[in-house]
Every structure is written in C-alpha cells, then in structure tokens.
C-alpha cells in the first residue's frame, strides 16, 4: 500500500544553518463564529543538501524520514526565486 507524500509550499525565511533552511508555510483559516479569515504561519526546518536555496525563495517541501530532532522535511524544488519575483513586479 502506497502512502501519499505530504507536500507544502512556503517561503525560505532563514538559510544560516548548514544544509538546513527554515520555510514559512502560510495557511488561511476562517473563524468558526465570526467567519473572518486570518492567516496562520508555521515554520518548518527542511534539509537542503547543497545549500542552494536562499532567503525569499518560494520552495516546495516534502515530508521524509527525520534528519534530526526537528527536521522532518526535505526541499523538493524551487517554485519562484527572489529574482523571478522582482522581475514579475517590474513587468506589471
């Protein structure tokens, strides 16, 4: 029986550790009574073997075996780099 791989998309907020990046994943929640939408943020540490991802890169992470006490994700790929985001804003 195959298990579905859990993936999340977020923004790199720190790359100061060796082979590790901190990725912020935002999710939109709705208050059960007032129906107002608000943003919840969660930080995940993800394994980055070659130290290739930098701050403000939008990346996709997948759940893997634990690499350390609080590092259970690995960076699967890049969605948007910081430079690409700057070019998109200039084009608009």
Domain extent, residue 47, equals 7-91
In a domain? residue 51: yes
* Residue 57 burial (CB count, 10 A): 22
CB 46 within 8 Å of CB 23: yes
pLDDT at 85 over 90: no
- So what's the pLDDT on residue 92? 59
By C-alpha distance, which of 87, 90, 85, 92 is closest to 55? 85
Determine what percent of the chain is predicted with pLDDT higher than 70.
Answer: 86
In a domain? residue 2: no
CATH assignment of the domain containing 36? 2.40.50.140
In a domain? residue 46: yes
pLDDT at 89 over 90: no
* Residue 1 burial (CB count, 10 A): 2
pLDDT in tens, 26-48: 999 999 999 999 999 999 999 99
In a domain? residue 1: no
pLDDT in tens, 56-81: 999 999 999 999 999 999 999 987 76
The number of distinct structural domains making up the chain is 1
In a domain? residue 43: yes
In a domain? residue 17: yes
């Amino acid at each position: 029986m195959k298990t579905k791989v859990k993936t999340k998309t977020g923004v790199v907020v720190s790359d100061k550790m060796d082979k590790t990046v901190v990725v912020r994943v935002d999710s939109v929640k709705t208050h059960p009574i007032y129906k107002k939408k608000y943003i919840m943020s969660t930080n995940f540490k993800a394994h980055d073997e070659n130290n290739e991802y930098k701050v403000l890169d939008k990346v996709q992470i997948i759940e893997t075996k634990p690499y350390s006490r609080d590092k259970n994700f690995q960076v699967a790929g890049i969605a948007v780099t910081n430079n690409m985001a700057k070019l998109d804003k200039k084009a608009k």
